[in-house]
Amino acid sequence: MNTATLTPQPASASAQSELAKESRMGALGQENAQRDIRRISLADYAQRKAEIAQQLWDASVDVGFFQIVDHGIDLARVREAFAMSERFFALPEAVKAQYPHQKANNVGWESKAQVRPSTGTPDQKESYQITRPHMSGLWPSEAELANFQSTLLAFEAQCWGVGMQVLSCFADRLGLASDFFTGAHDPASDQYQSTLRLLHYYPIAPEAQAHLGLWRAGAHTDFDCLTLLFQRPGQGGLQVCPGKEMDSQAWTSVEPDEAAITCNIGDMLMRWSDDQLPSNFHRVKNPVPGEFMGSRYSLAFFCQANRDAVIEGPGRKYPAITAGDYLKQRVAANFKPY
């Protein structure tokens, strides 16, 4: 793995371009139910790795979104993590405010703080970010939430393991060492910046239920290499539109399935692959009359390379940049100051 200390850079032309693209994705658009969000089994991973890698690559190049099943995380552990998340967000706001979001380290609790360039308005959600090296003073006490820290750290480790299996397949296809991305996401390093994010989208108030202009989360691409998303049955809203088809503004809904992990390529891996693996626009739309209007919960694990890892594709299409500097640029543009 290539690591180095590079001179910090101002927001790059490519980062500005990514934000400019997002700013064009705020329209309601239209539905496209014909896209194939492929389901890929990780069963017998060691024996089937080349086959799995081909399936992941094809799905990523085509749509940029896919679902993985037979991934090895027991459903009971997923449900336990969701239960912990729901308990956290049910705490009084004064308690949650003791653990405030730290933009520099992407940790802690925030509410309606993420403003998407596609909408210019805050996402209608609250979230709590867990990034292992930076959690000092940000964990709820055992009295507030018993077993919260231990349960979610164990779940985060399982997510990391699955993410590294997928990224190892991409490393093989890119001609890199199989463990290249595993080394770049080393959780033992103090430079680790992969994040488990608990998300709670607020219920829709009766007076707003017919207001289609209000997005729970505006259209965006993710900053990371790979996102693993867990959804709860009956709490839909996720829609995707491949970046290469952004001009069509045609969106495909991804129905929640608790047996599957929904995955997407992020901007960091797109850059690292010299744009061979495109990141994908996605959003969380408002429910419409007749759909569930209550709270929506999801869990997202972002595979974000360690701060000192150098992002440089095999063909060196873009200037080298540390993952720390890259993520700093993207977070700064998407969260309001406190």
3-state secondary structure 50-64: HHHHHHHHHHHHHCC
The single-letter code of the amino acid at 198 is: L
CA distance 226 to 267: 9
pLDDT at 335: 53
Strands (E), 117-189: 125-130
pLDDT at 338: 38
Residue 237's nearest CA partner among 300, 198, 288 is 288
pLDDT at 12: 46
Residue reference for tokens 């709670």:
200
pTM over 0.75: yes
pLDDT at 19: 53
CA distance 255 to 282: 13
CA distance 4 to 307: 10
Residue 81's nearest CA partner among 130, 125, 123, 43 is 130
First to last CA, the chain: 36
pLDDT at 250: 84
Q: At what angle do helices 148-173 and 75-89 cross, to 10 degrees?
A: 120
Q: Which helix (H) or strand (E) holds 45?
A: helix 45-62
Phi-psi map region of 18: left, alpha, beta (phi>0 left; psi -120 to 50 alpha): alpha
Our separate counts of H helices and E strands in the chain read 8, 15
pLDDT, one tens digit for every residue, the chain (338 residues): 454 444 444 444 444 455 555 555 556 677 887 888 999 999 999 999 999 999 999 999 988 899 999 999 999 999 999 999 999 999 999 999 999 999 889 899 999 876 666 566 667 899 999 999 999 999 999 999 999 999 999 999 999 999 999 999 999 999 999 999 999 999 999 999 999 999 999 998 877 766 655 578 888 899 999 999 999 999 998 999 876 676 778 899 999 999 999 999 999 999 999 999 999 889 998 887 778 889 999 999 999 999 999 999 999 999 999 999 998 887 676 555 43
pLDDT at 21: 59
pLDDT at 205: 80
CA distance 18 to 117: 10
* Token reading at 246: 């952004």
